[in-house]
Copies of this chain bind each other. A is one copy, B any other.
Amino acid sequence: MNDSLSPTDDPRLAGTPTDRISDAARTRFRIDPGWHFGFERLVEWSDVDAFRHANHTSFLLWFEAARNRYLQAAGLPRLSADTPGPVMMSLEARYLLPLAYYDPVFVTARVRSMRRTSFVMEYAAWGEAGCHASCTAVLVLMINATGEKVAIPDGVRTAIRALDAPSEEGA
């Protein structure tokens, strides 16, 4: 991990928790060393369903926020219809332990592999008992207004390489 991903230089993130994982967070949430990017949040009332646990889709919305922040920190323009944005092709999620209202949760994201226009990201949600849920998603970069697939920009690719050392393949 080096400094090419510097979310805290973005004034939009001023006042929000840094997206680097501090040693304190890593210890408190038992986060594996293979993760470098994430942020803490609380389980909100709107995340919880009538079983009094965070609904399975709430985890996926946290992962969506983590994906967007990660890509923006890597240099992708803020999501819009006319710039390259990630579109989900498939996902797999495993739910290991529940989370209750107001539990702190640390959400992590990383890129596992990149191709020309698509990439595989992994996500996890960590509570004080360790990993509560994990997810793998295949995404393709697309101009949403036109549906056109676009190559991962070089600068973004470089920033991701520096943070997560993903495998890379042609096509």
Chain A interface residues toward B at CB < 8 A: 12-17, 25, 40-42, 44-46, 48-53, 55-57, 60-61, 64-65, 68, 72, 78-81, 85, 87-95, 101-102, 104, 144
Closest to A41 in B: B16
List of B residues within 8 angstroms of A80 by Cβ: 50, 52, 101
List of B residues within 8 angstroms of A57 by Cβ: 46, 57, 60-61, 64
Mostly, the A contact residues are: mixed
List the 7 closest A-B pairs by CB distance, nearest first.
A51-B144, A15-B40, A57-B57, A48-B50, A56-B88, A90-B94, A50-B52
Closest to A90 in B: B94
